[in-house]
A = this chain, B = another copy of it.
């Protein structure tokens, strides 16, 4: 079977081959415990996966590199907030109201489905299998597929009715679509009265701490805060295996910046990078992603600002350093209908996998939305100040309610009216001024009274006045690169996977070409044959590797070296040391299968240097004597 799969994988691009390729990767990943379906002995839970030993190791290597590449390099402020979150925070952020998917229920069994998934499946099947549909109808269905995410509950329901879509398992009729909140809900404390949720993202923990973090940073902008942690999403019916799960690790950065100055001091370091970008305009006009110079997209106004571009560049460097194939990585700009109304610009790092192009990192300029929302809800001002070098004269609108007149007119309700007048936006106040001057009075809604009152000219003075200001107070914009770590890892597994024939040519062997940075185990140590002398050498090398902090395994099973290499290649271990003498050993590189001879005493330090990037395999290859592969190769 495996050979048949390989044949399918090695040529062609069709859906079947993608499926077969994915099966080969996923089989290897599960067989070697990169992943384990969670609670497997209890038949598991859809959308929950464990990282087994090599997967866990890859994950912690990636997170360590993320810390180095982002937090350390940019002096970010890392925080670590709880997953349990009180309702008030997620009401302010909008998640309680809007973090929903549309769901339909089998009217007889109560089984739940995502409404858009059912419609999507129907459309795809129609296009693929129904040869009788007209080209008009086909175009209509294609258009529907493209705009699926924009449909309201009513529109989705209407389409489901129109196409006669029924429950896939039972053929029973379906309910109308209704929103299902995707947060896991719980209760904090014993009383049952305090609702909480498992956070759907880590960002809110940063926003609510803005004031303290800004102060910690010496009250200076720009600065970035970062957080790595678990997030939760109670999917209606998880699909796409390891890509759409109910609990996942996010790594998020919130970069706070003056909305009037979104330049970045290190922008020039990334401006010359060239890679695949897919601006809105190209998507709309049906073109494909093109390789462009990042700096040009900024100068042409395609990317909104330098800081956003800086992070796009840094994300590109991060992903490719991990081993993501740069030909299967693109930065796609959100279309107007995908973006939240407050967002200034948004780009996704998408990685191509057997499931298609997968959003793995979102890089969004969210403007001042989040800080404003929490300022309003909490009553705590989340703002920054810019001190002027000399005071500036500014024109300011001053609303001065005349309390005496208001007291006479509204008695006990005076306070509410005063507050409502003072809270008017500039535009509203200016309109009131105009009306009062022309008509002498105006109808005015006081929300806190729940009614409209009549304001007369003598009750309020509205005036533009000149004032000296010593500082500007403003809500910073936030630029948010948000990394779905699990998705990056899965795509990396697909990009790193390949097969090659065994020496005898009788089977295909699996290899993960992880760079040493990512590899779960950096090195294996094999005594060539089971013998005490060799095992002692192996233990000596192992101790040196441990002391150097290099993760490794000794394999003293009696299997052939070829088999042991195959086993280690399948885990993506980049280097193997075969102990075949007591003075020097064979050091083999995984992908080239090249081998050199290194003194026993030097073996650990050579592996350390090439693993940590102080040297390259090419250097090692040119420094040490080559070893023919006859004795120890597969």
Contacts and interface: CB of A to CB of B under 8 A. Distances in A.
B374 A41 contact: yes
Contacts of A79: 36, 50-53, 56
A39 interface: yes
Interface stretch (A68-76, A127-135, A165-173, A601-609): A68-76
Given A41-B374, A49-B82, A186-B198, 12 more contacts: A41-B211, A42-B86, A42-B378, A45-B196, A53-B225, A57-B78, A60-B67, A72-B549, A83-B83, A83-B232, A84-B232, A189-B234
Query: Which 5 A/B pairs are nearest by Cβ-Cβ distance?
Result: A51-B80, A41-B378, A41-B380, A112-B190, A53-B77
Contact of A184 (B48, B67, B81, B84): B84
A546 interface: yes
> Considering residues A73, A211, A234, A380, which has the most beta carbons from chain B within 10 angstroms of its beta carbon?
A234
A39 B89 contact: yes
A48 B89 CA distance: 14
A14 interface: no
Nearest to A68: B549
A527 B45 CA distance: 57
A48 B208 contact: no
A7 to B, nearest CB: 29
Interface string A362-390: 00000000000010011010100000000
Contacts of A304: none
Contacts of A42: 86, 88-89, 208, 377-378
Interface string A182-201: 00111111110010101000
A625 to B, nearest CB: 30
A59 interface: yes
A96 to B, nearest CB: 14
A627 interface: no
A85 interface: yes
A566 interface: no
A5 interface: no
B48 A82 contact: yes
A499 interface: no
> Considering residues A103, A185, A212, which has the most beta carbons from chain B within 10 angstroms of its beta carbon?
A212
> Considering residues A41, A57, A208, which has the most beta carbons from chain B within 10 angstroms of its beta carbon?
A41
A377 B189 CA distance: 30
A80 B59 contact: yes
Given A39-B85, A73-B546, A234 B52 contact: no
A227 to B, nearest CB: 8
A553 interface: yes
A549 B234 CA distance: 38
Contacts of A553: 75
A283 interface: no
Contact of A33 (B83, B185, B212, B246): B212
A198 B189 CA distance: 14
B51 A86 contact: no
A237 B190 CA distance: 8
Contacts of A235: 189
A78 B50 contact: no
Contacts of A544: none
8 contacts: A33-B216, A39-B86, A41-B382, A48-B82, A60-B78, A83-B247, A84-B198, A112-B190
> Considering residues A73, A80, A190, which has the most beta carbons from chain B within 10 angstroms of its beta carbon?
A190
A164 interface: no
A297 interface: no
Contacts of A211: 41
